[in-house]
Amino acid sequence: MAGRRAVFLDRDDTIMVDAVYTEDPEDVRLLLGAAEGIRALADAGFLIVIATNQSGLGRGYFTEEDLAAVNGRLRHELRARGADYDALYYCPHQPEDTCDCRKPKPGLLLRAAADLGIDLDASYCIGDREWDVEAGRAAGMRTILVTNGQHGENLGVQPDHVASDLTEAARLIRTSQASRTEVAE
């Protein structure tokens, strides 16, 4: 039995502006095109899963309650624009903790896939950093790097696609899916 298709999204600088160790819900600002891209992907039948490194928790910069409030505000802002996500997974560890859930390791993505019955071969991983691409590749997904006008040069790993924002990433995925459907017919 085939699993469900999903798009795994990084949170900071992919969906919302990275305010660096965001602890205050008032700092949540969606990036241009984020809600529209998420809505388009959900409309195309993909589960939307946020997978984010949140080392500020492990460093003591904010609490679980602070993180829940920020993520709640993110959901509120998305819903106000007709979008939403199905699940959110986060790694609370610092880089030196050498856990298996901190991107670029794929543990967070693999756990979400197991929990939600996701077919990773039919899924995508989108983020703004090299470690997002590495994690997606290690989990067996196709990858898209979103630049949002800032990242994307001198990567040690090559994403399958590069997009300026989530709206363009959604367009690339939908076009790719349409091409696969035509070939299958």
What pLDDT is recorded for position 3? 86
Backbone angles phi, psi at 5, to 5 degrees: -85, 145
The first and second tokens of residue 20, run together, are 């660096």
- pTM as predicted: 0.92
Q: Which of 10, 128, 132, 165 is catalytic?
A: 10
What pLDDT is recorded for position 1? 44
The first and second tokens of residue 106, run together, are 């794929």
What pLDDT is recorded for position 142? 97
Neighbours of 23 (CB within 10 A): 17
What pLDDT is recorded for position 157? 78
What pLDDT is recorded for position 19? 79
Domains of the chain: 7-41+49-100+133-184 (3.40.50.1000)
Q: Which amino acid is at 140?
A: G
Q: Which of 12, 13, 128, 165 is catalytic?
A: 12
Annotated catalytic residue 10: yes
Q: How does DSSP classify residue 13?
A: T
- pLDDT tens, per residue, the chain with 185 residues: 468 999 999 999 999 998 788 889 999 999 999 999 999 999 999 999 999 999 999 999 999 999 999 999 999 999 999 999 999 999 999 989 989 999 999 999 999 999 999 999 999 999 999 999 999 999 999 999 999 766 555 567 789 999 999 999 999 999 987 665 554 55
Strand partners, 16: 12, 30
What pLDDT is recorded for position 152? 52
Annotated catalytic residue 84: no
Evaluated on CA atoms 9, 15, 20, 25, the torsion sign reads negative
Neighbours of 139 (CB within 10 A): 24
What is d(CA 112, CA 46) in angstroms, rounded to the nearest whole number? Answer: 14
| Cα atoms found within 13 Å of the Cα of residue 89, Cβ hemisphere only | 20
